[in-house]
Chain A
Amino acid sequence: MKYLLAFMTVLLLSAAGAAPADSPDPPENVVTEAAEEFQVRRAIDLEASDTPEDAGGSVRLTWRMETEGIAPDSLGVLRSDPSGAEELIKTLPEGFVMYDDDSAEDGTEYSYRIVSYLDGSTEACSDKAEAVSSAQWIYHGRIGMMIILILMGAVIVYYIESSKRGKKLYIREIAGLTAVDDAVGRATEMGKPVLYIPGIADMDDIQTIASIVILGRVARKTAEYGSTLLVPTSRSVVMSVAQEVVKEGYLQAGRPDAYNRENIQYLTDDQFGYAAGVDGIMVREKPAAIFLLGTFYAESLILAETGRSVGAIQLAGTAMPSQIPFFVAACDYTLIGEELFAASAYLSREPKLLGSLKGQDAAKLFFVILIVVGVIAATIGDYWSPLKSFAEFLRKLVTVT
């Protein structure tokens, strides 16, 4: 019994806590660390600056969060105007370290703070940062590109003018484009249709535009020869444009009666659905000539191999580097990259178009020289600093941000 009473006494004493005189104070740094552990993290290193390369009316805020303490529920962005009135302009989820205030007025200096919220109340606050918003007139990271574009435009204009004055311009033979007439002629002789596939991209893709330009020439040729032209498209806008272009081609060839609107049809926007649809047309209609010109992705080889299996002469062209090997392996002729864009000028032989083509070649030569000079400067620059600076200048010139 006495053991039980002694045990109860000890238990009661320990539950009541030790007497103050008996317990020494904890070291101060232990108290501070414990307090920090239960403090809500606040934003630190807050920086406010005018949002770069914009039309004004925007201030960019960046900050870091403290790493110790309790994570806040959310963050609030507070803004004070010159009158001193402060307002909450945005509540952000925890984890954000950047915010663009797009409601700023140009020329007004604003002061910003980031507050940390926990359970709906403000628990911590950052230091203040000030900024004034302003509009920029030019993208600084694109000045080099602008200079190059102006130079290129000038060279193209120069060659167009030279061509208009009657200067003979040499354009190398492009086998794929020379074969356009042969392919249409073959289809005519065999009494089979010509299948034209303008890629799977929409009209906002320059390759599709280039393809549509070639389609106009092919349509005129099929109208002259009396062949059937089939154009399945994967985009509605492309279908509408292709219908008009083919119609005009038939009109120009003096055969508007031969134009059949149903031959230019929309299949589907789905990539492989389109590939399946076109494959079906190939297998059923057995075209004698197939043109694959435009933007292609993984469906390129599916289309080209099916076309090959039906015995058609195939002419392909794309600027997609990853698809070119597939076309080279499966098609009779392949327009590689820039040749697709040269097709219109090459086929029409109009002086103005040929001049622009020559200008394009001159611009390419300029870039080749730039690359060679840049490589030499960067290589030798490791041993001779002036060349290193020159290489850096070239790098900045051609870098677009």
Chain B
Amino acid sequence: MRLIIPLAITFTAGIIMILNYFIPHQPFRLLGDNLQDWYLIVASGAIFLGAANLMHVHFRKIRLKLKNWKYSPVTIIGFLVMFVLGLIYGVVEGKPFDYLFLNMVAPMGATMFSLLAFFVASAAFRAFRASNWRATLLLTSAFLVMLGQVPIGAMIWDKIPLAKVWLMSIPNTAGQRAVMIGAAMGVVATSLRIIFGIERSYLGGAD
């Protein structure tokens, strides 16, 4: 039963969603919409599990004085401050929760995002080393694309921006579409495997 019930639920839900995609008639539309609502309810409920887990892990770290426990109070205080302010004042514009979000959370997120520029530079430096012919090809393409993106490229030779457009719209698009088609096949095959119970390892290795 431990195996059959989850497989039956998966099969039923999967088939309903497939039929809902192709058949707009009732009851399939209603069932499909309901299943999506149920997922939202489950996900909303699970946020409490996540928050409880976060608190449990960090309180435990502090209690047992585990490695790097000194960072945990920061997490706990941050969580509780936002949680309490949100509960008391709400999350609307101009309230303390919104103020803290705009002046602390958003700038910290932007700081993390800005790191990307430096990581792109270091990754590009490694990737563009002309160690073999394929890396050299990559280097040349990247060089042309970068030059074509800035005014100096056109000043050197007016065909460089055209080369950039060609590289981006023909070989690059072809490559991306190939990846997408392959991934789409993978998505369909994986979905069918799960719906028909061929793939069961997501049930915790109950195969």
Q: Which residues of A approach B to under 8 Å, CB–CB? A: 53-56, 135-139, 142, 145-146, 149, 152-153, 156, 160, 202-204, 206, 209-210, 212-213, 216-217, 220, 235-237, 239-241, 244-245, 247-249, 251-252, 262, 265-267, 269-273, 275-276, 280, 284, 298-299, 301-302, 304-305, 319, 321-322, 324, 326, 328-330, 336-338, 340-342, 344, 348, 350, 352-353, 356-357, 359-360, 363-364, 367
Contact = CB atoms under 8 A, between A and B. Distances in A.
B182 interface: yes
Contacts of B146: none
A336 B183 CA distance: 8
A204 B35 CA distance: 12
Contacts of A142: 21-22
Contact of A344 (B67, B127, B176, B201): B201
Contacts of B124: 329
A240 B47 CA distance: 10
Contacts of A152: 185, 188-189, 192
A304 B116 CA distance: 11
Given A56-B26, A209-B202, A265-B54, 10 more contacts: A136-B25, A142-B21, A216-B205, A236-B47, A239-B53, A262-B57, A301-B116, A319-B179, A344-B190, A364-B182
Interface in B64-107: 67-68, 71, 105
6 contacts: A149-B188, A276-B112, A301-B123, A336-B179, A360-B185, A367-B181
Contact of A337 (B26, B108, B179): B179
A336 B179 CA distance: 7
Contact of A160 (B23, B182, B198, B203): B198
B119 interface: yes
Interface stretch (B38-46, B147-155, B156-164): B38-46
Main secondary structure of the interface of A (DSSP, over half): helix
Closest 4 CB pairs of A and B: A248-B204, A341-B186, A236-B50, A319-B183
Given A206-B191, A262-B60, A298-B116, A240 B46 contact: yes
A20 to B, nearest CB: 63
B179 A240 contact: no
A234 to B, nearest CB: 9
Counting chain B residues whose Cβ lies within 8 A of the other chain, the interface size class is 35 or more
Residue picked from B23, B42, B108, most chain A C-beta under 10 Å: B23
Contacts of B176: 321-322
B46 A237 contact: yes
Nearest to B113: A272
A183 B75 CA distance: 31
Contacts of A136: 24-25
Contacts of B168: none
